[in-house]
Structure 1
Amino acid sequence: MAPPDNDVLWARSLHCALGGSDALSGVSLGVREGEILALVGPRGSGKTTLMRCLSGQLVAQQGEVWFNSGPVHTLATADRERLRRERFGWIDPEPGLVPELNGWENAALPLLLRGTPHRAARTAAVEWLDRLDIGACARKRPHALSHAERQRVAIARALVTTPAVLFADEPTAILHRADGAQVLRTLTAAARSHGITVLLATHDPEVAALADRTVALLDGRRVGAVPPVSGAEGVAACSLSV
């Protein structure tokens, strides 16, 4: 079965086991070009595993993943790595910046690694830092930046290649609520202005509200809605996402 023409990403019946447990059980999903899609659910629901399968980092034991009508699940390892490097961007909960590099060098790193001339890479990186309101941090190293500034540099690094799809895994988990809200508004505005498709994994309803559409996961399956949790167990469940 071929994916729909307007879906930039499409997955069918993904089954994935990690550490002897089912991380995904028959998940199917279509992501339209240019949309911002939020994957919601508590810790262990399968959000990160699903994004790893969609991005080619992980190959499910069963099921199919397609990008722009081309199969991802049948690609060789080197071809999947090339796809991730050239067409996808990824943001982790932690910025993961290189401490020896300053802001623009960290942001430009994907371009420099693919052989883009130094001046062109710097120009592109600085432009993205300016769009994310941290142009003043271009010459500062990570130790001199706040959590929010470091995460914005990481976002610039993910966007500097203008990827077709940006995977954002709890991108504001380490930030205070106000900083996180501002970072997400900037991220979504930048993605929309450049037609970048975004998959955003989150347990926070306020974060999910920024998306065009929401898909809920629970115990590795798609569900109509995630049931609310309360008390200490709810706080713990919402502190992290898998």
Structure 2
Amino acid sequence: MIKVQGIERVFTGVHALGPIDLAIERGQFVAIVGPSGCGKSTLLRIAAGLLAPSAGELTIERADPATPLCSMVFQDYGIFPWKTVRANVRFPLDLAGIPRRRGDVLAREWLERVGVAGFEDAYPATLSGGMRQRTALARAFVANPEILLMDEPFAALDAQLRLVLQSELLRVWEAHRRTVLFVTHAIDEALLLADRIVVMSARPGRVLADISVPFPRPRHREIRADPGFGVLEERVWNLLKGEVEEHAA
């Protein structure tokens, strides 16, 4: 569905990314891991159309031009503080011209699915970080996009809440099987969620390895107890260790 060919990005003389070649099939959940500053988020923003590449090409094969192409979930939630929870989730539907009554119904359905039912009239400032991120997830899914782009969406949450929202995301993704690009620094999170893990080098980010995750679906957090989980986690870390040390030097 997504083909990345020779993508590079340069920021004011700094070669941040690439060249990268990558192909992602429709319905795959792909995690991207790599050192800070290696261009993971830059690649997501190029996929979203928020940045233009300095070289190369990224093409997307649409399944239905009538549906939204992509939604993005950010680490800092990205929801509007002046809008209620309902209005935040309904926002992409408003942009698409969906009647407000129908938009309210769809927003309520997704708020129920992510566990925010009953807070429709609340404003983000009154919510916990976890509730804000659940709201961001509901807004991303409500428009039924072909691609979901997630930039470290759980990084700012405490460990317990992170586990809860990982499970929520797995449950929702299993039901809808959208194509997902998921940036994370957490190797265990990538192994739990993804079909594939793309390991990137230090800046300028390049693909070091593209690893298939062998664990069957549906998955639950108990998969971490599988001996193969630890073996694969160590394999990914061994690929990353030198790159992380190089970035920190």
TM bin (shorter chain): 0.7 to 0.9
In the aligned structure 1, how far is the partner of 2:48 from the partner of 2:80?
A: 23
The answer for the alignment partner of 1:75 in structure 2 is none
The answer for the alignment partner of 1:228 in structure 2 is 241
Match status 1:140 vs 2:100: no
Number of residue-to-residue matches in the alignment: 214
- Render the CA deviation track for 1:56-102: whole Å, top value 9, x for unaligned: 221212111111179xxxxxxxxxxxx8x921000010112222322
List, as ranges, runs of 4+ consecutive aligned residues in structure 1 with deviation greater than 3 Å.
none
In the aligned structure 1, how far is the partner of 2:18 from the partner of 2:151?
A: 20
In the aligned structure 2, how far is the partner of 1:69 from the partner of 1:154?
A: 24
SS at match of 2:68: helix
Match status 1:64 vs 2:77: no
Bigger mean CA deviation after superposition, 19-28 or 165-174: 19-28
- Render the CA deviation track for 1:145-188: whole Å, top value 9, x for unaligned: 10000011011111110100000000011100111121122123
In the aligned structure 2, how far is the partner of 1:101 from the partner of 1:24?
A: 35
- Render the CA deviation track for 1:219-240: whole Å, top value 9, x for unaligned: 21111354227xxx87x97xxx
The answer for the alignment partner of 1:173 in structure 2 is 155
Q: TM-score, normalised by structure 1?
A: 0.82
SS at match of 2:79: coil
Structure 2 residue runs without a partner (length 5+): 210-235
Task: Report if the CA contact (8 A) 2:68-2:144 is conserved.
Answer: no
In the aligned structure 2, how far is the partner of 1:69 from the partner of 1:132?
A: 27
**What letter is aligned with 1:217?**
M
SS at match of 1:60: coil
- 1:45-60 mapped onto 2 (5 Å cutoff): 45-60=38-53
Alpha-carbon offset, residue 136 of structure 1: 2.2
- Render the CA deviation track for 1:4-51: whole Å, top value 9, x for unaligned: xxxx11111111111311111210111111111000011111101111
| Identity rate, percent | 31
Q: TM-score, normalised by structure 2?
A: 0.80
- 1:1-242 mapped onto 2 (5 Å cutoff): 8-68=1-61, 86-209=68-191, 210-218=193-201, 219=203, 220-224=205-209, 225=236, 226-228=239-241
Task: Report if the CA contact (8 A) 1:34-1:192 is conserved.
Answer: no
Task: Report if the CA contact (8 A) 1:191-1:197 is conserved.
Answer: no
**What letter is aligned with 2:139?**
R
SS at match of 2:177: coil
Query: Quick one: structure 1 residues 143 and 213, their matched pair in 2 at CA, closer, same or farther if it must change by over 3 Å?
Result: same
Structure 1 residue runs without a partner (length 5+): 1-7, 71-82, 238-242
In the aligned structure 1, how far is the partner of 2:50 from the partner of 2:58?
A: 12
Task: Report if the CA contact (8 A) 2:62-2:69 is conserved.
Answer: no
In the aligned structure 2, how far is the partner of 1:138 from the partner of 1:115?
A: 21
In the aligned structure 2, how far is the partner of 1:99 from the partner of 1:122?
A: 19
